[in-house]
Chain A
Amino acid sequence: MRRDVFQAIADPTRRKILNIVSHKALNLNSVAEQFKVSRPAISKHIKILTECGLIVVKQQGRERFCEAKLKKLNEVSDWVEQYRKFWDQKLDSLEIYLEKLQAKDKSSKKNKKHGRK
């Protein structure tokens, strides 16, 4: 199975887990309590999130705390940025091209006028 940030947030439960632990590190029980699904199911999601690099589980005394590594999520916002930029970049390029095109038109018209004199 693929283990990257896209895989990590493709599942709604995993997105919810991320949201919960993004505010503060929580132990596994506190995370599991907020879901109707079984604890083993939540553990499995947390394991996937760990493998995807989005969560780090830290042992503190007898408890294990989940801490979000949100920097990884920048990869996703960058992807969206990329899509958003698609048309922005095309329009930038079009803008420059139209400017050049019209500048050329003007100068060739000027030259024609000049030629007639």
Chain B
Amino acid sequence: MAESKDFITTRVLNAPRQLVWDAYSEEKHLLQWWGPAGVKMAKATLDFKSGGMFHYGMYAPDGSIMWGKLVFGEIVAPKKLVCTVSFSDENAGFSRHPLAPMWPLETLSVTTFEDMGAQTKVTVNWKAINCSEEEAALFDNSHDGMNYGMKGTFDQLNEYIKTLI
């Protein structure tokens, strides 16, 4: 099994670390922000512990449900959260993205929460895991897809995907 290179996303949030942690770890908070604005959650269950899972479904505009799940690994409150992210189905199985069956099945995300007083620095370090060499190469290759001399002009596909999420 192969894995891709790392991607890093960083954000400074205007909230103390404990509150940010609560927003991730408590169902009443998580359900309020996990879905994008205006998207109704069809179903969501959170079992916040190592080995536990967050399984959710969001309504797509056509009325179908897009399922996803996070499976939690190491949890160090309120500093670090490790989880795998994947598309899923109603029964919390694994699923490929309906539009890209070649795409890696799972990504591993390590999120760290840095205490900055009234603010919190959140860093998400993630990569595709448990994929074939081909999938990892595909992922990495498109990661630095600028190799091909094309910078992403957003086309219809992107618009379409937006409507799915």
Contact = CB atoms under 8 A, between A and B. Distances in A.
A9 interface: yes
Interface string B111-155: 000000000001010100000001101110111011111111111
A80 B148 contact: no
Q: What secondary structure prevails in chain B residues at the interface with A?
A: mixed
A77 B141 CA distance: 9
A78 B37 CA distance: 22
A40 interface: no
Interface in A64-97: 70-71, 73-84, 86-91, 93-97
- Which bracket fits the contact residues of B? 35 or more
Interface residues of A, number: 40
A98 B152 contact: no
A98 B14 contact: yes
Contact of B148 (A19, A93, A96, A98): A19
B1 interface: no
A6 interface: yes
B152 A10 contact: no
B29 A6 contact: no
Q: What secondary structure prevails in chain A residues at the interface with B?
A: helix
A22 interface: yes
A76 B68 CA distance: 21
B138 A6 contact: yes
20 contacts: A6-B102, A6-B138, A10-B135, A70-B150, A71-B155, A73-B145, A75-B155, A75-B157, A76-B145, A77-B152, A78-B152, A82-B161, A87-B9, A91-B122, A93-B33, A93-B36, A94-B23, A98-B13, A98-B19, A101-B19
Given A70-B150, A78-B155, 6 more contacts: A9-B138, A73-B150, A74-B152, A78-B158, A79-B103, A97-B23
Interface of B: 7, 9, 11, 13-15, 19-20, 23, 29, 32-37, 85, 100-103, 107, 109, 122, 124, 126, 134-135, 137-139, 141-143, 145-155, 157-158, 161, 165
